[in-house]
Structure 1
Amino acid sequence: MKFPIPYRPASFVKSLIGLLLVGIFIAVGCSEVIELEDNTVGGQVIIYGRISNSTQANEVVISRAGEASTAPLPIEGAIVKIVDDTGLEEFLVEDAPGHYTLGRNVLSGQFGRSYRLEADIEGSIYTTDFQELLPVLSQDEMRYEIGVERDITSSGATVTDDVVRLFVDSDLPDDLPDQFFMRWEIEEVYSVLTGFFPTFWFPRSAPPQKQCYVTHKLGADEIFLLDGRDIRRSDLKNRELITRVIDRSFQNKHYFNLIQSRVSEENFEYWEKVRTLTITNGSIFDQVVGPLKGNVKSDDPGEEVFGFFEVIGIDTTRLLMTNNDIPVFFRDPCVFQGDLVLPLLTVPFDCFECLLQRKIIDPQCAFCEAVPNNGPRPSYF
């Protein structure tokens, strides 16, 4: 059992030509990927993180670069804190190797306040300048359309997919600042059920059926940037964001979350650089392939530091879809009925582990932990 996440870049740019700088760095078969030459010798500190007005994504990820194009290694045991412009400070807690989270027990992101980062890594100090947390500007509203997409394979066969096309209307205030910078990111969150196994054959050993929650954060190829110096319109209508192939992830609740961020000019310029790099598909904390300097400084002026710490205002718009909205029948590979029951009975009585050992079932049908991108239940579910 797999949970594919097939996205296709859409016509976001077409409706905003000359107005938007759009962070789609690759469209399959449509544009050339510009990779930054990576001659990294390794050892450099990489710091990515953010603080926002949201209760989520207040975190810092610290690692050390490997040699050219190799995965960085997490740095454990750092002393990390965020300081605001009144002198309040809070230390972050390391809840996974190299991953530090702000508990928001002392300070939290508030509009109009400024914040900076300080990290002590084995006696070396890394800091950023104060950045103001600016309020969001746009009111976004999403909608969807169900459609069919056809493609031709290399052998000349026609392949047809049912798809969801996602659109957004963005309303900006009439009294726009002289300059402003914005970013939109997209993620989807949905639930899937593990299998229910026949109790007469597995009365004790089979795990109970559970609901798993999957959060899939899209990568830099689905990040959209707006330079407010290039636009004076107060509305950005009917922008097509993505085209999503319909699969069984739509069987239960399926949310699309459009995350709007108000960012600084420095932050905007950083993400413009990111557009020219190859990034793994995932969150903003996935590591850039190639060295990219940001706003983090070392107390050693000669030390090279990679990464960026951002202070951003966030607003999230959600679009909920359920199976009632999708005119497609899904065959659930984890529903064991009819002829799917018989293979389960080929193992010894109450030997659920035998199903896994013989690869009769996929572990994702038994354990949420085996489902990619599984996480805790979101508050809005």
Structure 2
Amino acid sequence: MRNKLSCRLSILQKPAYRLLLLLLLVTFACSEVIELEDNTVGGQVIIYGRISNSTEANEVIISRARQASTAPTPIEEATVKIIDDNGLEEFLVEGEPGHYVLERNIISGEPGRSYRLEVNIHGDVYFTDFQELLPVISQDEMRYEIGVERNITSTGAAVEEDVVRLFVNSDLPSDLPEKFFIRWEMEEVYSVLTGVLPAFWFPGAPNQSQCYVTYKLGAEEIFLLDGRDIRRSDLRNRELITRRIDRSFANKHYFNLIQSRVSEENFDYWERVRTLTITNGSIFDSVVGPLKGNVKSEDPGEEVFGFFEVIGIDTARLLMTNNDIPIFFEDPCNFQGDKIVPLLTVPFGCVQCLIQQKLVDPGCLSCAAVPNNGPRPGYF
């Protein structure tokens, strides 16, 4: 059954991805793309963050708006705390400028409990009302198919690409509540290895390292389910994405489907803004634009942007390895055989010369140069 609501999905403009319009076939409200008018004059406080039942991404991002279409400025040295319905409170610790993390020493998100945020920025106080952390209700399971996608280039030539197609089955219980709201996001996490330079010419070269890349596919797309528009027991065999097969599949490659049980206020907020301009690839990064949410100021005349959400989270993971992909991957960081000869054209021991002369990709020498590199996930 098709949704009676008309909806359009934006397409993530990344070469390796194509978000499929088959999402229109599921019976839930999609997010229409809206061009966000930005007339920000600057100076407003922006607060985004969340607490959840997950051990990850319990954080608050605080910044100050600048003029329209300009990245906001992080606000440092704020006092940030989360308070639960028993009166317990925990102060968040600032890591990166303007990025405050809940270490879960006193408070951790529990379904059925309520939480609120309080922020003090040099004497100015901002807060949210209590919100209940609702448990997740959908059981998601992903599967994949290997296929070939045929395209026509701008010159009219036919080309073929090996791809992975991802599908999901989402099972909902029979005793659904009268109202419920779900948001889905996707990310992929994979590992790559740096290269090993010939020791006889580069005795001081860095050792081989394993790098972990996290790419948040859901940065520009937010998928929302309004339980008021659906009364079926499951959402079966939804096709999510088509992913071009590349070297990222040479080792472990995870696809993570992150389900969030959100409040009606949270749903209405994201449904209202539909598509956001995100600065750093996460819905919790500072948003450029005049987006008012549930954060209030003690000064009733002050305009505040942002949203603090209290959500239940569950993650479905799909692991793929090279054994699942019938394709040979050439490793550009494998310096053996005849690939050694060009490296010897630089002065003895000059690793940096390899980068300057573009003989070696910087990501082959250091994880820090690999885009979206981060710490090793606990499930790896």
Q: Which category describes the TM-score, using the shorter chain as reference length?
A: over 0.9
Q: Quote how far apart the aligned CAs of 1:281 are.
A: 7.0
Question: Which residue in 1 is equivalent to 2:23?
Answer: 13
C-alpha distance in structure 1 between counterparts of 2:22 and 2:100, whole Å: 35
Unaligned runs of 5+ residues in structure 2 are 1-13
Q: Quote how far apart the aligned CAs of 1:13 are.
A: 2.3
- Structure 1 ranges of 4+ moved more than 6 A: none
C-alpha distance in structure 1 between counterparts of 2:45 and 2:173, whole Å: 40
Q: Quote how far apart the aligned CAs of 1:292 are.
A: 0.8
The 8 Å contact of residues 218 and 281 in structure 1, kept in 2 or not, is answered as: no
Question: Which residue in 2 is equivalent to 1:266?
Answer: 265
AA matched with 1:158: A
The 8 Å contact of residues 11 and 239 in structure 1, kept in 2 or not, is answered as: no
The 8 Å contact of residues 219 and 280 in structure 1, kept in 2 or not, is answered as: no
The 8 Å contact of residues 182 and 225 in structure 2, kept in 1 or not, is answered as: yes
Q: Does 1:87 align with 2:87?
A: yes
Report matched runs for 1:247-258 at 5 Å.
247-258=246-257
Q: Describe the shift of the 1:254–1:185 C-alpha distance in structure 2 as closer, same or farther (beyond 3 A).
A: same
Q: Which moved more, 1:66-75 or 1:194-203?
A: 194-203
Q: Describe the shift of the 1:357–1:197 C-alpha distance in structure 2 as closer, same or farther (beyond 3 A).
A: same
Unaligned runs of 5+ residues in structure 1 are 26-32
Q: Which moved more, 1:271-280 or 1:181-190?
A: 271-280
AA matched with 1:288: V
Q: Which moved more, 1:236-245 or 1:216-225?
A: 216-225
AA matched with 2:315: T
Q: Does 1:302 align with 2:312?
A: no
C-alpha distance in structure 1 between counterparts of 2:114 and 2:98, whole Å: 25
Partner SS state of residue 266, structure 2 = helix
Give a deviation string over 1:138-183, Cα, whole Å, max 9, x none.
1110000111111112221222211111100011110000000001
Partner SS state of residue 360, structure 2 = coil
Report matched runs for 1:132-151 at 5 Å.
132-151=132-151
C-alpha distance in structure 2 between counterparts of 1:120 and 1:184, whole Å: 32
The 8 Å contact of residues 274 and 288 in structure 1, kept in 2 or not, is answered as: no
Question: Which residue in 1 is equivalent to 2:40?
Answer: 40
Q: Quote how far apart the aligned CAs of 1:45 are.
A: 0.6
Question: Which residue in 2 is equivalent to 1:30?
Answer: none
Q: Quote how far apart the aligned CAs of 1:348 are.
A: 2.0
The 8 Å contact of residues 190 and 213 in structure 1, kept in 2 or not, is answered as: yes
C-alpha distance in structure 2 between counterparts of 1:370 and 1:276, whole Å: 30
Q: Quote how far apart the aligned CAs of 1:353 are.
A: 2.5
The 8 Å contact of residues 182 and 262 in structure 2, kept in 1 or not, is answered as: yes
Question: Which residue in 2 is equivalent to 1:158?
Answer: 158
Q: Which moved more, 1:193-202 or 1:212-221?
A: 212-221
C-alpha distance in structure 1 between counterparts of 2:96 and 2:278, whole Å: 22
AA matched with 2:49: G
Q: Quote how far apart the aligned CAs of 1:280 are.
A: 5.1
AA matched with 1:105: N
The 8 Å contact of residues 81 and 91 in structure 1, kept in 2 or not, is answered as: yes
The 8 Å contact of residues 250 and 323 in structure 1, kept in 2 or not, is answered as: yes
C-alpha distance in structure 1 between counterparts of 2:345 and 2:379, whole Å: 41
Question: Which residue in 1 is equivalent to 2:319?
Answer: 320
Report matched runs for 1:1-381 at 5 Å.
6-16=16-26, 19-23=27-31, 25=32, 33-203=33-203, 205-279=204-278, 282-381=281-380
Give a deviation string over 1:197-222, Cα, whole Å, max 9, x none.
1112112x100001000011123443
Q: Describe the shift of the 1:312–1:278 C-alpha distance in structure 2 as closer, same or farther (beyond 3 A).
A: same
C-alpha distance in structure 1 between counterparts of 2:80 and 2:128, whole Å: 12
Q: Quote how far apart the aligned CAs of 1:273 are.
A: 2.4
Give a deviation string over 1:245-285, Cα, whole Å, max 9, x none.
11100010000001111000010011112324444572112
C-alpha distance in structure 2 between counterparts of 1:375 and 1:299, whole Å: 37
Partner SS state of residue 222, structure 1 = coil
Q: Quote how far apart the aligned CAs of 1:228 are.
A: 0.3
Give a deviation string over 1:327-358, Cα, whole Å, max 9, x none.
22211111112222111111222222322333
C-alpha distance in structure 1 between counterparts of 2:21 and 2:144, whole Å: 14
AA matched with 1:253: K
C-alpha distance in structure 2 between counterparts of 1:182 and 1:379, whole Å: 25
C-alpha distance in structure 2 between counterparts of 1:277 and 1:218, whole Å: 14
C-alpha distance in structure 2 between counterparts of 1:5 and 1:88, whole Å: 47
C-alpha distance in structure 2 between counterparts of 1:276 and 1:206, whole Å: 45
C-alpha distance in structure 2 between counterparts of 1:218 and 1:157, whole Å: 29
Q: Describe the shift of the 1:281–1:353 C-alpha distance in structure 2 as closer, same or farther (beyond 3 A).
A: closer
C-alpha distance in structure 2 between counterparts of 1:193 and 1:288, whole Å: 33
AA matched with 2:136: V
Q: Quote how far apart the aligned CAs of 1:35 are.
A: 1.1
Q: Quote how far apart the aligned CAs of 1:115 are.
A: 0.1
Give a deviation string over 1:107-138, Cα, whole Å, max 9, x none.
10001000000000121000000000000001
C-alpha distance in structure 1 between counterparts of 2:308 and 2:22, whole Å: 28
Calculate the TM-score normalised by the size of structure 2.
0.93
Q: Quote how far apart the aligned CAs of 1:234 are.
A: 1.1
Q: Quote how far apart the aligned CAs of 1:12 are.
A: 4.2
AA matched with 2:107: L
Partner SS state of residue 96, structure 1 = coil
The 8 Å contact of residues 219 and 279 in structure 1, kept in 2 or not, is answered as: no
Calculate the TM-score normalised by the size of structure 1.
0.93
C-alpha distance in structure 2 between counterparts of 1:294 and 1:246, whole Å: 39
